[in-house]
Amino acid sequence: MVYHFLFSTVLCRMDPERAHTLAFRAISLAGRVPVLNGIVQGALAPYLQREGVQVFGRRVPGVFGLAGGFDKNAEAVRGLTMLGFGFIEIGTVTARAQPGNDKPRAWREVELGGLRNRMGFNNDGAEAVAERLRSLRSTVAGRAVFVGANIGKSKVTPAEEAAADYATSASLLAPLADYLVVNVSSPNTPGLRDLQAVDSLRPILVAAREAADRATEAAGRPRTPLLVKIAPDLADPDIDAVADLVLELGLDGVVAVNTTIQHDLGEGGLSGRPLLDRGIDVVRRLRGRLGPVPVIIGAGGIFDVRDAQAYLDAGANLVQGYTGLIYEGPLWARRINRGLAR
């Protein structure tokens, strides 16, 4: 109730990106305060440590995690874990640092429970993000956090050089991440979604897989799972084709779904409540096509325990969200993970 009042009276009157920056800084700072971190982790431990799920041969502390896009540069992983997320997906990270698209580039769609953005993969680049993850992993607590890395194509990289671009990011981040996600489904980088076509996608996934394997072998670390993230706007036959490619290449799974451009609200991809039904349908279709082994991370429109459970019932192994954090506040992830644990 307190957060909803604050959201409706204060945050809604702020520019969305400005509000995000202020909240992000507070979360990041909280994660650096040892006493506060210990208190919160102690409160979360009874359900995050008792429950969890086995994925990729490892125990993930909680089924519900944070989707890529909130912490683009791995700057607030500890603070976000304090909020009750079972895992954190950082990024999207590109091989080259880039500022993203011109502002304004984020809009709330309050009546829909949605968020529309055209951020354009603004991030510090794979080398800088890798250094932050290396620092995180240098501590016992940092090594315990389950972190995925979402990678995308640099805007300046031509489509014909996309495979090498993804390979660069994969080689830098694979030894430091618990899983990698190849993002070819954001609508905010020109031409990126065209790479979801199987003929274009295959060399990207092969290059990312090979680069990740070389990097982890050189570092003496286990193989890092590789997934691909797809858009909700793909036609069902194209979803089947991506699933078949995942099986053909022996990849570890799929993240479904990204934002949608099937709206008339203006530029950018739409996330939040409008994605729920389509996201669940895509997950159900993927599970039927992939069979029981590949991991599916369901995302899109999750606001409460029932939404998350619907994804799990459709065949997802893990679920994640982002927009709900904006509308529901800092206790959101904790409520969902506790509800799922019960």
CATH number at residue 135: 3.20.20.70
Residue 257 annotated as part of some ligand binding site: yes
d(CA 342, CA 332): 16
Q: Which residues of 243-252 are buried (b: 16+ CB within 10 A; e: fewer)?
A: bebbeeeebb
- Give the domain extent around 190: 2-341
Instruction: Check residue 1 and give its pLDDT.
Output: 77
Spans of the chain, pLDDT less than 70: 35-51
Q: How many CB atoms lie within 10 A of CB 259?
A: 30
Annotated catalytic residue: which of 154, 169, 171, 186? Answer: 186
- Three-state DSSP state, 305: helix
Q: Is residue 81 annotated as involved in ligand binding? A: no
Q: Name the token pair of 200.
A: 């274009």
| Contacts for 104-108: CB closer than 8 Å, 24+ residues apart | 104/15, 104/17, 105/17, 105/268, 106/15, 106/16, 106/17, 106/20, 106/268, 107/16, 107/265, 107/266, 107/268, 108/12, 108/16, 108/326
Q: What's the confidence (pLDDT) of residue 250?
A: 97
164 burial type by CB count under 10 A (0-12 exposed, 13-18 middle, 19+ buried):
middle
Give the number of domains in the chain: 1
Q: Which pLDDT belongs to residue 260? A: 97
What pLDDT does 35 receive? 60
The verdict on whether residue 323 carries a ligand-binding annotation is yes
Any binding-site annotation on 119?
Answer: yes
pLDDT of residue 206: 98
At residue 188, the pLDDT reads: 87
Q: How far apart are CA 25 and CA 22, in angstroms?
A: 5
Calculate the CA 215 to chain-centre distance.
22
Q: Is 21 annotated as a binding residue?
A: no
- Kindly state the tokens that stand for 15: 């520019």
Q: Any binding-site annotation on 122? A: no
Q: Is 153 annotated as a binding residue?
A: no
How many angstroms separate the CA atoms of 288 and 203, rounded?
Answer: 25
- pTM beyond 0.85, yes or no: yes
Between CA 270 and CA 36 the distance in angstroms is 35
Tokens representing 17? 């990106």
* 186 included as an active-site residue: yes
